[in-house]
Amino acid sequence: MSKTHIDPDSAARPGLVKLALEARAPYEFAAGLANLAWTRHLPRGNPHPVLVFPGLAASDRSTLVLRTLLWRLGYFPYGWEQGFNFGPRHGVVAGCRARVEELFVEHEHKLTLIGWSLGGIYAREIAKLVPECVRQVITLGSPFKGDPRANNAYEIFRLLSGHRVDANMVARIGEKPPVPTTSIYSKSDGVVPWQASHEAEHEEAENIVVKASHLGLGFNPMALYAIADRLAQREDQWRPFERRGLKRLIYPDAFAL
């Protein structure tokens, strides 16, 4: 049976109610810190390097909780080390690609790339450039489809980056990386319309819906569990996230409108 078609081009900018719900982020941050003290409930897998990309106007400090959790789970987490994410500045993509290649050689293992919001666009694009170095891509509320103007961060992006996003760029960004890809997003996101983060149905692509704010996705316990679950899989044995039992109550259906 075919699943519901999600049209990202028809998505509207999140309204004031959803934007106000971004106030949840501090509570999600506190919950994320609590996860650092209690990790026994989280899945664990074979150690491998993980490179984490921050969101718009954020630096590696914003991903410290996530990277600390990954370290406690036995992985080798790294920040992108490109300073603040102000968009596609000269040399940033080349620097990210070089860092992935260096870590691949150093660890002799493929990397998982995790990107939060705009950072997920970098993760997807780098995976397209060097798929031989990448194990999988996980994005958190990343707007890789639809009209880029239909989100509440577009004007900030234009101001910081000095760039506009044209139709050709949107089409290229929307193409799935040639590696297993997971999009984690919230339908109550106050910054990005969730439809822009919804990956099309594919044997190596999936969507995991969590109840979170955009600004709290990198700390939210449901998102952290989903990330740990994806990392725990054996290399070359990727399977979609299973919403069985209690998980059906915790993780909403990605195809429900």
- What pLDDT, on a 0 to 100 scale, did the predictor assign at position 2? 53
Residue 73 forms part of a structural domain = yes
The DSSP element (H or E) to which 77 belongs, if any, is strand 76-79
Residue 161 forms part of a structural domain = yes
Residue 20 forms part of a structural domain = no
CB 137 within 8 A of CB 113: yes
CA gap 40, 43 in Å, rounded:
8
Block means of pLDDT (10 residues each) for the chain, length 257 residues? 75 95 97 90 95 97 97 97 91 95 98 98 97 98 93 91 77 94 98 96 95 97 97 94 92 87
CA gap 2, 40 in Å, rounded:
37
Vertex 28 angle, CA 209 and 125, to 5°: 50
Distance (Å) of CA 91 to CA 69, 95, 125, 138, 196: 30, 6, 14, 23, 27
- What pLDDT, on a 0 to 100 scale, did the predictor assign at position 162? 82
Residue 65 forms part of a structural domain = yes
Residue 104 is part of which domain span? 47-233
Residue 3 forms part of a structural domain = no
- By C-alpha distance, which of 140, 138, 121 is closest to 62? 140
Residue 177 forms part of a structural domain = yes
- What pLDDT, on a 0 to 100 scale, did the predictor assign at position 10? 82
Residue 7 forms part of a structural domain = no
Residue 166 forms part of a structural domain = yes
- What pLDDT, on a 0 to 100 scale, did the predictor assign at position 1? 41
CATH number for the domain harbouring residue 185:
3.40.50.1820
Number of structural domains found in the chain: 1
